[in-house]
Structure 1
Amino acid sequence: MNRTPTRRTALPLRLLWALAALLLLASACGSDDTTSSPAAAPATDAAASTEAPAATQAPTTTTEAAAPADEPEEAAADAEETEDTEPTPAEPEHRYQRIVSISPTGTEILFAIGAGDRVVAVDEFSYYPPEAPVTDLSGWQPNVEAIASYDPDLVVMGSDGDIQANLESLGIAVLPIDAPATFDEVYVQIAQFGDVTEQADEAAGVISEMSSEIAALIDAAPDASGLTYYHELTDGLYSVTSSTFIGQVYSLFGLHNIADPADSDGSSYGYPQLSDEYIVDADPDLIFLADTLCCGQNAETIAARPGWDLLSAVQNGRVVELNDDIVSRWGPRLVEFIAAISDAVVSIGAAS
């Protein structure tokens, strides 16, 4: 077959960012060189405003008779006892007590490391875990006034210099979170969240559990270096290349990405739009659908596409339906994405 890469017109940069935001991968759209580990939240005075208010003072008037002048020691003792029994202001257990998250991945990490009870509001897309306090805060266009209305002392959000500067000018600390380029960066981010929220031990536990489970899933899968795959982001046939974080997940198993030649010059920033002809010509061994929620795609709908019924993956039942949200986030549920790939590779090995 002719394997010359043919693809639709490269996605304009402005539309690329819009697509990426929809997929909750906005910060991954640039080249990997722009990806950075989260910066530590700056010290602010905001934490002071979260301290418990001073205890109400006892009233200065009383209907009881005053102590006789010839009993100063008894009066002094009564005064000392009253003073000793007054409650003292409680110190907060953690520095940040009111956290707002404008990042679905950040929200998942906060709850995973045990800081969820301090999260007072999250954006419209942060609907996992179920107990997350979802609001109408925009995940597309964060608004400083809307965020500040929740009186946060820490905001978790993707890098945005202007928004971050405005929040910090109000005395609100900001913890930036951007899409990672490697697995090490995933673990670095989780550890950073642990340090900033003073949940370092819990964060270390999450990292240890994730790394152990991922290693076991990779070890359980047979060598897949001879197999090809197609990862579908949307039913408009947008995909990912191996240069993206999602593509690197597949590379852990040795799988070859059919989309790589379609963006060899990087003009689509790792997110090329393919065509039916290109995919049919490439005939991938495995198809992974990450548009089951957004676009209602499944094994039956793609089999009805022109020419797709001839694909090996369709004929052999090797179409894997993924949860869009899990795939587009790199928090603790990343393990579930890797498990889906491992299961698919294991099933091919068992059938061969």
Structure 2
Amino acid sequence: MKRRITAAVIAAAAAIAMSACASNDSTGEPSGGGEATANAATYPVTVGSLTLDKRPEKIVSLSPSATEMLFAIGAGAQVTAVDDNSNYPPDAPKSDLSGFQPNAEAIAAKSPDLVVISNDTNKVVDQLTTLKIPVYLAASAVTLDDSYKQINDLGALTGHPTEAADTVQRMKDDIAKLVKDVPQRAEKLTYYYELDPTLYSVTSKTFIGALFSLAGLENVADPSDADGKKGGYPQLSAEGLVKVDPDLIFLADTKCCQQSLETVKARTGWASITAVKNGNVIQLDDDIASRWGPRVVDLVKAITDAVAKAPV
């Protein structure tokens, strides 16, 4: 997914783009099983204002995060189409459907009995509801609890409540252990998180920023959006970043924009930044860094590993 160079679209992209079997580890990797619990589930099931009279067997997911959740909880076999940005797990039934600009007619052509979306662009919820197609809105998570709730909601709707609860518990346990093992320091390490090469970042008030706070890090982008008017996604300046001299730099634009320690070091004045001098420029997987599904544990691990390796 290419990064758009406006604050509004950067925020939207982070919101939308943050295996038929249950996860067998904290990363959400697909594994076998899940049918026994699914067959035991009872319907109708109600989640919020949505009621399903029977287990959905033709699910369309227009959210990469929701796609990962569905496969992690064992509902992958029920997913018949996913949007063009849902690339994990690799065997997800990718289509040309768009999560950014959902088209009700194109979605309806898939004959779904449940559609999962992350935003109501084009008022697609009303359109699908008029067509009597059930819709679950899995909006961009603001907290980890939002992510956990969505996983449990999808578990209930798809007939996999036990697998969903197990997935959530594993995430909680793994994150708690990672955070507990973070080395204690007399002073907080500072960090800069890069969304794209035009220096859009995130503050501690965002979902991603909150994960860094768990590891005890101080975000150099926070002062740039102290009043919240930039929605937690300020654009920083190259000169300003050189001046604040972060201890760590996390790149969430390695796939989209081919950024690396080498490209960062080549920027004017950046070779003098502490993070660059010490080689503490962490290249993240763009997808994991922008989604709020089970693989958020992988992101927390990348953060805590970086903290552990940084000089005291």
Structure 1 length-normalised TM: 0.76
Matching residue of 1:191: 152
Q: Given residue 279 of structure 2, which amino acid in structure 1 is its aligned partner?
A: G
2:95 matched to 1:135?
Answer: yes
Q: How does 1:208-227 map to 2 (within 5 A)?
A: 208-224=169-185, 226-227=188-189
Please report how far the alpha carbon of residue 195 of structure 1 lies from its aligned counterpart in structure 2 after TM superposition.
0.8
Describe the SS at the equivalent of 1:266.
coil
Matching residue of 1:6: none
Deviations 1:142-165 (A, max 9, x none): 000000000001000023172111
In 2, the alpha carbon distance for the partners of 1:299 and 1:313 equals 10
In 1, the alpha carbon distance for the partners of 2:147 and 2:288 equals 14
Describe the SS at the equivalent of 2:201.
coil
In 1, the alpha carbon distance for the partners of 2:111 and 2:129 equals 13
Matching residue of 1:62: none
**Structure 2 stretches lacking a partner, 5+ long:** 19-45
**Percent of aligned positions with the same letter in both sequences?**
49
Which one has a bigger Cα radius of gyration?
Answer: 1
2:110 matched to 1:150?
Answer: yes
Q: Given residue 289 of structure 2, which amino acid in structure 1 is its aligned partner?
A: V
Matching residue of 2:305: 343
Describe the SS at the equivalent of 1:135.
coil
Q: How does 1:1-352 map to 2 (within 5 A)?
A: 15-23=6-14, 25-26=15-16, 40=48, 42-43=50-51, 95-160=55-120, 162-224=123-185, 226-348=188-310, 351-352=311-312
In 2, the alpha carbon distance for the partners of 1:268 and 1:244 equals 11
Deviations 1:196-243 (A, max 9, x none): 111000001101111111111111111255210000000000000011
In 2, the alpha carbon distance for the partners of 1:233 and 1:243 equals 15
Q: Given residue 40 of structure 1, which amino acid in structure 2 is its aligned partner?
A: G
Alpha-carbon distance change, 98 to 40 in structure 1, aligned in 2, over 3 angstroms: farther
In 2, the alpha carbon distance for the partners of 1:207 and 1:267 equals 33
Q: Is the 8 A contact 2:7 2:234 kept in 1?
A: no
Alpha-carbon distance change, 308 to 332 in structure 1, aligned in 2, over 3 angstroms: same
In 1, the alpha carbon distance for the partners of 2:264 and 2:284 equals 14
Q: Is the 8 A contact 2:17 2:287 kept in 1?
A: no
Matching residue of 1:32: none
Describe the SS at the equivalent of 1:317.
coil
Q: Given residue 19 of structure 1, which amino acid in structure 2 is its aligned partner?
A: I
Please report how far the alpha carbon of residue 21 of structure 1 lies from its aligned counterpart in structure 2 after TM superposition.
3.7
Higher mean displacement: 134-143 or 175-184: 175-184
Alpha-carbon distance change, 319 to 27 in structure 1, aligned in 2, over 3 angstroms: closer
Q: What is the RMSD computed on CA atoms of the aligned residues?
A: 1.9
Alignment length (residue pairs): 279
Deviations 1:15-44 (A, max 9, x none): 433223444x2498xxxxxxxxx9636236
Describe the SS at the equivalent of 2:282.
strand
**TM superposition outliers: structure 1 runs of 4+ over 2 Å:** 14-23, 38-44
In 2, the alpha carbon distance for the partners of 1:335 and 1:242 equals 18
Q: Is the 8 A contact 1:181 1:245 kept in 2?
A: yes
Q: Given residue 16 of structure 1, which amino acid in structure 2 is its aligned partner?
A: A
Alpha-carbon distance change, 41 to 136 in structure 1, aligned in 2, over 3 angstroms: farther
Q: Given residue 107 of structure 2, which amino acid in structure 1 is its aligned partner?
A: I
